Amino acid sequence: MPTFDWPLGELRRYQPELTHEPDFDLFWQDTLAAARECTDAPSATPIDAGVRAFATYDVTFPGWAGEPVKGWLVLPSGGSARWCVVEYQGYGVGRGRVHDHLLYAACGVAQFVVDARGHSRGDTGDRSAESSGPHEPGFMTQGAHDPRAHYMRRLITDAVRGLDAARSLVSASRFAVAGPSQGGGQALAVAALGDGVAAVLPDVPFLCDYRRGADVSDRVPYLEIAQFLRKRPELVDDTFRTLSYFDGMNFASRATAPSLFSVALMDPIVPPSTVFAAYNHYAGPKDIRVYPFNEHEGGGSLHAMQRLEFLRKLAEF
């Protein structure tokens, strides 16, 4: 996949109009207030999955509608930590296995991995009473007719409540939100909606500037939108109106914590222009690492070190 999006100079100047409806903030106030009516405490059960160097826990916390959402907590040896990173997951992924998440703890940082409801590598069903269990997509257009019914409302609510859970479970002095792709989009949402966010680390964030994504990406998940609208051309406007409630650029304009973005200029799944749409609107301190020849893997393990350095500069650990 060669460069298919605009040149870097244009990307840096790209500032699409924000798309939030007048009731955007109210929508989220109501949504989160309703979710927080469930006052169940998160539970964290120690597990032995063979990982001996760190304390590992299987977590359950109340997410959207109080439904149980899963997570992994991985604590570095030595108990408390300066930082706790709350990490969200990519589309089609989920929390995976606990031994997939060792880097932060190995470097002395606590990590709380939040599952993605319904996604294949997770353990959290969507709408638990009649849980669909993990399954293969598509989630992009589930509830396209109404923001209140859309899947992303539930996913983002889980993300905010995941931060709440981390803050009640982990004795860290600072909390960061992070994640690749869909997880990066969730991190941006939590940066706007959550409490006590000290750093935001969105990598090749998905869920930003959906219209541009659907216009120029020929890969799922953005392609799911185009495929749906191809069959329902009369729903174009309604669908993007619904998606505006979950758009990372709208969230970015409401976020204030220091942030480190990453973007890959040959990313066919999350086109770089959609990342810059959010980055250029981000309202807090910000930096972005540009990987000119990478695709959706972004900066990979090189960027993993960049994230840790960024946290260290904010508060040594």
Q: Which of 158, 181, 273, 281 is catalytic?
A: 181
Output DSSP code: residue 38.
-
Q: Which of 150, 281, 296, 303 is catalytic?
A: 296
Q: Which two tokens stand for residue 244?
A: 């505006």
132 binds a copy of itself (CB under 8 A): yes
Output DSSP code: residue 40.
P
- The region of 158-166, 170-178, 196-204, 215-223 touching a copy of itself under the rule CB under 8 A is 215-223
100 binds a copy of itself (CB under 8 A): yes
Among 16, 128, 198, 241, binds a copy of itself (CB under 8 A): 128
Among 18, 38, 47, 266, binds a copy of itself (CB under 8 A): 266
Where in 275-294 is the site for a copy of itself (CB under 8 A)? 291-294
Whether 238 sits among the annotated catalytic residues: the reply is no
Q: Minimum distance from CB of 137 to a copy of itself (Å)?
A: 3
17 binds a copy of itself (CB under 8 A): no
Sign of the CA dihedral running 251, 252, 253, 256: positive
The helix/strand count (H/E) of the chain reads as: 11, 9
161 binds a copy of itself (CB under 8 A): no
Residue number, 174 or 254, with CB nearest to a copy of itself: 174
34 binds a copy of itself (CB under 8 A): no
Beta strand spans in 41-163 (E):
43-46, 55-62, 68-75, 81-87, 110-114
Among 172, 214, 277, 278, binds a copy of itself (CB under 8 A): 214
Q: Minimum distance from CB of 255 to a copy of itself (Å)?
A: 26
- The region of 16-24, 32-40, 155-163, 303-311 touching a copy of itself under the rule CB under 8 A is 303-311
Contacts of 294 (CB under 8 A, 6+ apart): 264, 265, 266, 267, 300
Tally of CB atoms within 10 A around 162:
27
Decide if 69 contacts 63 (C-beta within 8 A). yes
H or E element, residue 126:
none
Q: Is 91 within any annotated ligand binding site?
A: yes
Where in 74-93 is the site for a copy of itself (CB under 8 A)? 76-77, 92-93
CA 307, chain centre distance (Å):
15
Helix (H, G, I), strand (E, B) or coil at 180: strand
* Angle, in degrees to the nearest 10, between helices 182-193 and 151-169: 70
Q: Which of 267, 273, 281, 303 is catalytic?
A: 267
Q: Minimum distance from CB of 232 to a copy of itself (Å)?
A: 6
The set of catalytic residues is 181, 267, 296
